Structure 1
Amino acid sequence: MGGLFIGVLFTLSSVLRAQQLPSFPGAEGFGRFAQGARGYTTPEVYAVTTLEDAGPGSFRDAVSQPGRFVVFRVAGVIHLKSNITIAPYTTIAGHTAPGDGVVLYGRKVSFSGSNETIARFLRIRLGANAGAGKNEDASGIANGKNIILDHMSFSWGLDEVFSISWDKKGLEPDSITLQNCIIAQGLHRYNHSAGGLMQTGGKVSILKSLYISNKTRNPKVKGINEFVNNVVYNFGNANKTQEEHKLSADAYILGGGSAMISNALILNNYFIGGPATPKNKQSPFSRGNENFNLYQTGNYYDNNQNGILDGVLIEENEQWYPGLALKNFKTKADYADYPSVSPALQAQEVVSYLINQVGATRPKRDQVDELLIQELKSLGESGSYVYDEADLPLSNGGLGTLSAGQPLVDTDEDGIPDRWEEELGLDKNDPSDALKRSKHAEYKGYLNIEVYLHRLAEE
């Protein structure tokens, strides 16, 4: 019955959006049709030209108004002095930065109310040493619809790292995708190292992403959710240093004590224990309830911490999914309208894919993400449980160093460098052509600046 209801629920919306343009080539999941600045009535290009917290040319100013394609002419750490909320109809292109790219550090960057927003290749790191509050997340969505976050790196939350949880204001979060993202190192300064909550009546996809070195909530799921082709690594606090903190380890939480009806896909994921994971942890799933329905297949668990990917297949039963009953296990047909019901990658392929592709890989990975990937590559033998960011073996208070680089020449300052204007058949002296529709047949419907951003991401 639950599957039939879901099918009816999605059929109309699927038909209505079938002809819509994907946010970019490779966009997947429930948020794959977010329009970004293209969908705004009067889009414009805004170049971030300073690492200052505020003022003309700052990231804060760039995302303060809707309808902007945000490109970067600088690289480095932006030390935020207060929280930022991204305006609706925004396209953030972190991969346009020179050098080693950009890090937003010290305060929460929220996508609440950021309807129709696309954000790619950006690092958001909260941290404990720059004045953020005890109950602050690194990032998240409390309300809003049609949002896709791709190749983002989130870390060092003090409460959660990244959560989607309705605040009863605005639109209940719906049609949202996180793909190719890192959700990492929830800090345990306040004994709350948590990946995040995914609890909304709307639709959320978590795809090809890495939850790493968070004690719990990797993630905690309620509602309509796809969890497909992900890796959860080094969950728990078995290597804790605070004796007063209880031993804990939760990867995927199956609703917890929620009365909300949940319908979830859990497909082709790999759960890998690390030094923080108790060796007697029998299952990566916990705290199921009678309201949590799912279709699961192709998931693996490896907790022998031996440096070899040799996990076992997770079976469809109450031992692996504690708290669930036979009635909670559904079939593929029940979730046929979920966009990720037929994933391209097997669980064994996901690990190598993420090692090469996950996080803000353009213009290049920073030292924090490189450290995380090295831990993942150890396949259980290394992993952090972080009190605060300064404990990491990196300079600059744990942020590491970032090369400033040199931005490409952009004669008409339209956001498309001259080299790319030539490659795309545009005029480097015409600042208006960036926001014109592309004449390339394969990019029909996109603006020229989007074609540049698509091609740059694939380079």
Structure 2
Amino acid sequence: MVSQSAMAMLGIGIAALLATPFVAPSDLAQRLKSGGADADLDGSSVLPEVPGVEAFPGAEGYGRRSRGGRGGAIIPVTTLADRGPGSLRACIEAQGPRVCVFRVSGVIRFTTRRPIITNPYITIAGQTAPGGGIIVTHGGGVDGYTPIIAKDTHDVIIRHIRVRTDLNAEDRGSNSSFLFENSRNVIFDHVSGAWAQDQVMSGYDHNDNITISNSIFVQGIPRHDKCALLASNPKAPQKLSFIRNLCAHNGDRNPDVNFMPLSCVEILNNVFYNGDSQFTEVHEVFGGTPVSIVGNTYRKGPDSADAIPAIDRVLDSSTGMSKIFMADNRLDKVKVLKTGTVEISQVSRPVCPLSTRLVPAEQAYLQVLDKAGAFPRDALDVRTVAEVRARTGSIIHDAAMRSGPRPLPAIAPGTPYVDLDEDGMADSWERAHGLDPRRNDAWEDADHDRWLNLDEFLDFAHREVMAGRPIP
């Protein structure tokens, strides 16, 4: 008999989680709501937050310790041009640790071969852009390749960037919004993707320590309208976190997980809306996926089949048995939580210690709708969130939208913050924090809290853009 005190440690007080019997979704939801120790489903015993080591304050999941460009060059993006000095391409292709900060807002279109993040140690800080922020897209046709790709690299942080591919590519299979391939220590946070001809978010080859969080992935192009394929052709076990994201108006792969045994995969506190044939798919091509699916909302929409399952174990080409832990997954007019094949692969404890603090599914639903995506939200994200709330909207049916061109959302112009010493930090913020706006002190720690000055400014910029306030 498990004691009440041991049960109180359920969740990510990890030792107890691994010792307790199966926890029904309703039981876990009640514990999350109860407050106090019972609600503290917190992975800090496994990945304790260490200032100056995390990617940024509040970073979560297995990618949370990505170094990004910390300690490197501060490279301003001063033009929307495809290439040349001051371009995003120039920052992506630069050598050494670097942080891309934006002095412009608008649409960056890669009209030739798109840049690939292969040089490690990079932070792309979209929250520094003035006005309406940044859209990245491609030129379509033979140049229509995934605009944002991290390949054969490590330590990458991308925040507050949106991809809207308005033109169709000649090679559909190479046109996602975002792709991570053979990379490690990567975090996509507060990004938005739409209109991909392949998955909106794709993972390929041997990746490890990946976080995808607080993001919006919407309206892939039929008949390959997929939210996220999180593993394709994995070469070894991987750790991946998919936390507080919104997948809307994508037929299936909401998301798709197809990992090797001994992987640690977690799908936590997300919102999945208006899938067509399937929501979450668990595959076994590489021996069976270990996955924890906790605290998500599955919400039926106008295109959803009556019998659409929230969680489906796919047996095609199966070479082993998945291990699926499920708890506190909220069904909103979705009739089927799991297919019969899931039942025999369901396990009574998380397959790995969960990496982050959880909230009840209904609370996560509100958080995702309020806070997910690149900020400031463009018209597409604003509309999508309104459609989720109202249970309206649709997968793309219009032939003109499918074939393109699709109208890009307008991006408001803005005035960049003053930064005379070009250390990436606004002079007004530096003065307010006792720093010298005439001296490059980005990588010092003025308040001795282990977060460096630029870390703290980028966190400030993130909070300001989330609140709808321009950086003064």
TM-score (norm 1): 0.81
Looking at structure 1, the residues matched to 272 and 340 of structure 2 have their Cα atoms a distance apart, in angstroms, of 18
1:324 corresponding residue in structure 2? 342
Aligned-pair CA distance for 1:97: 0.4
Deviates more, 1:152-161 or 1:47-56: 152-161
1:241 corresponding residue in structure 2? none
Are 2:67 and 1:31 aligned?
Answer: no
Gaps of at least 5 residues in structure 2 are: 1-13, 19-44, 139-144, 465-472
Amino acid paired to 2:341: G
2:392 corresponds, among 381, 385, 388, to 381
Alignment of 1:285-324 (within 5 A): 285-287=312-314, 291-303=321-333, 314=337, 320-324=338-342
Aligned-pair CA distance for 1:132: 5.4
Gaps of at least 5 residues in structure 1 are: 8-13, 167-171, 237-248, 304-310, 315-319
Looking at structure 1, the residues matched to 399 and 49 of structure 2 have their Cα atoms a distance apart, in angstroms, of 45
Looking at structure 2, the residues matched to 113 and 372 of structure 1 have their Cα atoms a distance apart, in angstroms, of 33
Q: Are the aligned partners of 1:298 and 1:313 in contact in 2 as well (CA < 8 Å)?
A: no
Distance 1:406 1:398, change over 3 A: same
Q: Are the aligned partners of 1:389 and 1:399 in contact in 2 as well (CA < 8 Å)?
A: no
Distance 1:339 1:285, change over 3 A: same
Aligned-pair CA distance for 1:339: 1.1
Looking at structure 2, the residues matched to 220 and 114 of structure 1 have their Cα atoms a distance apart, in angstroms, of 23
1:179 corresponding residue in structure 2? 213
Q: Are the aligned partners of 1:299 and 1:347 in contact in 2 as well (CA < 8 Å)?
A: yes
1:339 corresponding residue in structure 2? 355
Amino acid paired to 1:182: I
Looking at structure 2, the residues matched to 407 and 424 of structure 1 have their Cα atoms a distance apart, in angstroms, of 20
Looking at structure 2, the residues matched to 155 and 180 of structure 1 have their Cα atoms a distance apart, in angstroms, of 15
2:292 corresponding residue in structure 1? 265
2:105 corresponds, among 57, 75, 85, to 75
Looking at structure 1, the residues matched to 463 and 49 of structure 2 have their Cα atoms a distance apart, in angstroms, of 25
Q: Are the aligned partners of 2:279 and 2:309 in contact in 1 as well (CA < 8 Å)?
A: no
Aligned-pair CA distance for 1:58: 0.5
2:282 corresponds, among 246, 249, 254, to 254
Distance 1:253 1:282, change over 3 A: closer
Looking at structure 2, the residues matched to 313 and 346 of structure 1 have their Cα atoms a distance apart, in angstroms, of 20
Are 2:408 and 1:399 aligned?
Answer: yes
Q: Are the aligned partners of 2:103 and 2:129 in contact in 1 as well (CA < 8 Å)?
A: yes
Distance 1:388 1:425, change over 3 A: farther
Deviates more, 1:380-389 or 1:62-71: 380-389
Are 2:459 and 1:454 aligned?
Answer: yes
2:436 corresponding residue in structure 1? 427
Aligned-pair CA distance for 1:274: 0.9
Looking at structure 2, the residues matched to 293 and 347 of structure 1 have their Cα atoms a distance apart, in angstroms, of 21
1:156 corresponding residue in structure 2? 195
Distance 1:263 1:433, change over 3 A: same
Q: Are the aligned partners of 2:312 and 2:342 in contact in 1 as well (CA < 8 Å)?
A: no
Deviations 1:338-388 (A, max 9, x none): 313x51x11111221111100002xx111111121111111x233332567
- The total of aligned residue pairs comes to 402
Amino acid paired to 2:204: S
Looking at structure 2, the residues matched to 123 and 389 of structure 1 have their Cα atoms a distance apart, in angstroms, of 22
Are 2:85 and 1:56 aligned?
Answer: yes
Looking at structure 2, the residues matched to 183 and 144 of structure 1 have their Cα atoms a distance apart, in angstroms, of 21
Deviations 1:271-315 (A, max 9, x none): 111112112325443425652102110002223xxxxxxx6794x
Looking at structure 2, the residues matched to 332 and 227 of structure 1 have their Cα atoms a distance apart, in angstroms, of 14
Amino acid paired to 1:84: P
Deviations 1:193-240 (A, max 9, x none): 11221224211000000111111111110223100000111111xxxx
1:203 corresponding residue in structure 2? 239
2:273 corresponding residue in structure 1? 233
Q: SS of the counterpart of 1:426?
A: coil
Looking at structure 2, the residues matched to 56 and 150 of structure 1 have their Cα atoms a distance apart, in angstroms, of 27
Q: Are the aligned partners of 1:99 and 1:402 in contact in 2 as well (CA < 8 Å)?
A: yes
Alignment of 1:67-146 (within 5 A): 67-81=97-111, 82-86=113-117, 87-106=119-138, 107-108=145-146, 109-129=148-168, 131=169, 133-136=171-174, 137-146=176-185
Are 2:403 and 1:371 aligned?
Answer: no
Q: SS of the counterpart of 2:363?
A: helix
Are 2:369 and 1:355 aligned?
Answer: yes
Percent same amino acid at aligned positions? 29
The root-mean-square deviation of aligned C-alpha atoms, in Å, is: 2.7
Looking at structure 1, the residues matched to 110 and 387 of structure 2 have their Cα atoms a distance apart, in angstroms, of 28
Distance 1:276 1:261, change over 3 A: same
Q: Are the aligned partners of 1:259 and 1:291 in contact in 2 as well (CA < 8 Å)?
A: no
Looking at structure 2, the residues matched to 32 and 149 of structure 1 have their Cα atoms a distance apart, in angstroms, of 10
Looking at structure 1, the residues matched to 388 and 171 of structure 2 have their Cα atoms a distance apart, in angstroms, of 30
Amino acid paired to 1:193: D
1:416 corresponding residue in structure 2? 425
Q: SS of the counterpart of 1:158?
A: coil
Amino acid paired to 1:425: G
Aligned-pair CA distance for 1:324: 2.9
Aligned-pair CA distance for 1:332: 3.0
Looking at structure 1, the residues matched to 400 and 101 of structure 2 have their Cα atoms a distance apart, in angstroms, of 28
Q: SS of the counterpart of 1:401?
A: coil
Q: SS of the counterpart of 2:364?
A: helix
Distance 1:208 1:47, change over 3 A: same
Looking at structure 2, the residues matched to 438 and 401 of structure 1 have their Cα atoms a distance apart, in angstroms, of 38
Looking at structure 1, the residues matched to 410 and 49 of structure 2 have their Cα atoms a distance apart, in angstroms, of 44
Q: Are the aligned partners of 1:250 and 1:286 in contact in 2 as well (CA < 8 Å)?
A: no
Q: Are the aligned partners of 2:307 and 2:335 in contact in 1 as well (CA < 8 Å)?
A: no
Distance 1:195 1:386, change over 3 A: farther
